[in-house]
A and B are shown apart, each in its own frame.
Chain A
Amino acid sequence: MIKPQKDLDPSIETCTTDLSDPVFLSDLRLQMLKFAVLQLSDVSLAEDAVQEALVGALKNTGSFGRRAAFKTWVFAILKHKITDIFRQRKKLVYNSELSPNDDDDFGDQLFGAAGRWEKDARPVKWSNPLESVKTDHFWKVFDACLNNLPETQARIFMMREFLELDSSEICETQDITTSNLHVILYRSRLRLRKCLETNWFLEGDKL
């Protein structure tokens, strides 16, 4: 029996840092399982995917002081596992899921023909950005912005910025070229900065 998911927002559990707490882990496992079963419609496949994702993620617990961050990371790995399973199922022939020529045309919307910022896309100055970290509300916005990234962008961004892996480590484990990596990180940063600016820094300035 799978427990109903109480809360989709991972930023609720903000301050506790003990990631090996069995209650936290078993709750997390159930949430992951529910997610995986929904996606895969196959309980035993879902259980395997969750198991592998958890074991993989727990190797990196040292990089995390916040449960919400760890949870975001573990779900990113799980989504990757599920994508893998889909791909095997459909026997799709892709060169790589990570080809930068995926369908993310977000960057094209930001720049005009001459490669200049479109008027309403121009980055504005963020006032006191590092003051924001003191509020829980900011971290909820940050969480939501991360979760809105396309799956691959989210995972690679987290490998770079949460796990602090260098380019060569990421390229090796993800089997991508350095230039693919640069494109993926660039796109994730374009999206994240836009999301934070729209939902926090502009909002905040209006208050």
Chain B
Amino acid sequence: MMNCSQATRLLSEAQERELPLKNRAVLKIHVLMCSSCRNFAHQMDTLRQLARAYSKGHKE
């Protein structure tokens, strides 16, 4: 069984590269069952969007 610590590590790593298929399957199951990690997963995408908005300038 994958735990939250391992799941969040992979969710961060997925921002750098496509995860191996076997990781993706186990991760998907964990995220389906765990609302905290589901929130974390959304926040990884949000963090990237916010960082880009921050560096590019949000007022344009």
Q: Which of B12, B42, B57 contacts A182 (CB 8 A)?
A: B12
Q: Is the CB of B4 within 8 A of A116?
A: yes
The interface residues of chain B lying within 8 Å CB-to-CB of A185 are: 12, 15-16
Binds B, one of A21-29, A38-46, A77-85, A186-194: A186-194
Main secondary structure of the interface of A (DSSP, over half): helix
Q: How far is the CA of A134 from the CA of B44 in the complex (A)?
A: 20
A193 touching B4 by the CB < 8 A rule?
no
Question: Given contacts A161-B51, A162-B55, A189-B12, are A116 and B40 in contact (CB under 8 A)?
Answer: no
Residues in chain B near residue A117, CB distance under 8 A: 4, 36-37
Contact B60 A65 (CB under 8 A): yes
B47 to chain A, nearest CB (A): 6
- Tell me the residues in window 45-73 of chain A with beta carbons closer than 8 Å to chain B beta carbons: 63-66, 69, 73
Whether A192 pairs with B47 at a CB distance below 8 angstroms is yes
B44: nearest residue on chain A (CB-CB)? A189
Flag whether A137 is at the interface (Cβ < 8 A).
Answer: no
Whether the pair A66, B57 counts as a contact (CB closer than 8 A) is: yes
> Which of B8, B9, B43, B55 is in CB contact (< 8 Å) with A161?
B55
Could you tell me the distance between the alpha carbons of A181 and B15 in the complex, rounded to whole angstroms?
12
Asked if A129 is an interface residue, CB under 8 A from chain B, the answer is yes
Q: CB < 8 Å: which of A64, A134, A139 contacts B56? A: A64
User: Which residue of chain A is the closest to B9 with respect to CB atoms?
Assistant: A186
List B contacts of A186 (CB < 8 A).
8-9, 12-13
Question: Of all chain B residues, which has the CB nearest A181?
Answer: B16
Q: A158-B55, A162-B55 are in contact. List 19 more A-B contacts (CB 8 A).
A: A14-B59, A64-B56, A111-B5, A129-B43, A129-B50, A130-B46, A130-B49, A133-B53, A139-B54, A160-B16, A161-B47, A161-B48, A162-B54, A164-B52, A166-B16, A182-B12, A185-B12, A186-B13, A189-B44
Closest B residue to A192 by beta carbon equals B47
Given known pairs A14-B59, A185-B15, the reply for A161 and B3 (CB within 8 Å) is no
